[in-house]
Amino acid sequence: MTPRVAFVVHAGREAALALATSAQTMLETKGVDIEMIALSPPLDGRSDGVLDDFTADLVVSLGGDGTFLRAAAHAHRLDIPILGVNFGRVGYLLEVPPAEIHHAILEALDGNLALERRATLSVEVPGDRGVQRIQAINEVSIEKTTPGHVVRVETRIDGEQFLTFAADGVLVATPTGSTAYNLSAGGPVLAPGLDGFVLTSVAPHFVLDRSVVLAGNQEVTLDVVGDRSAVCVIDGVTIRTLAPGQQIRCWRDERWLKVVTLAERGIGRRLRESLRQGHE
């Protein structure tokens, strides 16, 4: 059977489009069927019709973190491995340098590259027609809606009351997302293959400001309390406003995201390179 690869490309990035075009030409000479999917900016939505129906043996993301997150959500749903091409971004998302794309794709199709299992989150969010379940690749957060004011969030772990935060927000991040919003909020970096996630408050007022690392079989509930509403954001996309008394619930999803990795780059080197890039 002819191998099939889906290129998910940020249409606003000339370098990504050029690389996708050259890679398509080369790979088709090797007998690989390429489907090109261009995502138009701004990348601020979750229901992308162009991604709903594709089938492939491998998904390749060419763009930035937003492109990867949108592609990864669909790769996860279809249980397809994903390979992220690194255009100089920070974090665990984009593993392969542009110069290695052809070799990496062929090696991945032949089964010669490692597949790293990444934990994702299932998030239950109240909706107009009942509870909606959404997958989070990086993180889910509850954030304030009014500048200059905090939001009050009561947290529960496995149903047991933990702390009530008065803060700019509270987030729950996967290991993949630990180098994103969680890191900027002062949270720890988790090894990408860890079976667990982290709870971090954002600019808390007069309360414990340390993150809590949880096991993969645990569950977190975030309740909006007090008299101010909040907004629920998943992987950088605003999902809905939450009124006082509403809550979200999240846990590690049973299905793992499969990410193609280069075995020669261990966690130390990956962190050193990605965090250095973040300060350049």
Query: Tens of pLDDT along 154-193?
Result: 999 999 999 999 999 999 999 999 999 999 999 999 999 9
Per-residue pLDDT at 255 exceeds 90: yes
What is the pTM assigned to this prediction?
A: 0.90
Cα 220 to chain centroid, rounded: 18
Give the residue with greater pLDDT, 246 vs 41: 246
Percent of the chain exceeding pLDDT 70 equals: 87
Nearest to 43 by CA among 204, 237, 181, 217: 237
* pLDDT at site 115: 92
- Residue 179: what are its φ and ψ, rounded to 5°? -95, 10
What integer pLDDT is reported at residue 280 of this predicted model?
Answer: 43
**What is the pLDDT, as a whole number, of residue 182?**
96
Instruction: Catalogue all structural domains in the chain, each as residue range(s) with its CATH number.
Output: 4-118+256-277 (3.40.50.10330), 121-252 (2.60.200.30)
pLDDT at 223: 98
pLDDT by residue (tens digit) across 1-48? 899 999 999 988 899 999 999 999 999 999 999 999 998 876 665 545
Mean pLDDT score of the chain: 89
Per-residue pLDDT for 200 more than 60? yes
pLDDT at site 279:
43
pLDDT tops 80 at residue 218: yes
What would the mean pLDDT of 96-120 be, rounded to a whole number?
A: 92
pLDDT at 41 (0 to 100): 74
User: Which regions of 28-138 does DSSP assign to beta strands (E)?
Assistant: 33-39, 58-62, 82-85, 114-118, 121-127, 130-136
By CB atoms closer than 10 A (0-12, 13-18, 19+), residue 122 is middle
* Residue 128 dihedral angles phi and psi, to the nearest 5°: -65, -25
Active site (catalytic) residues: 65
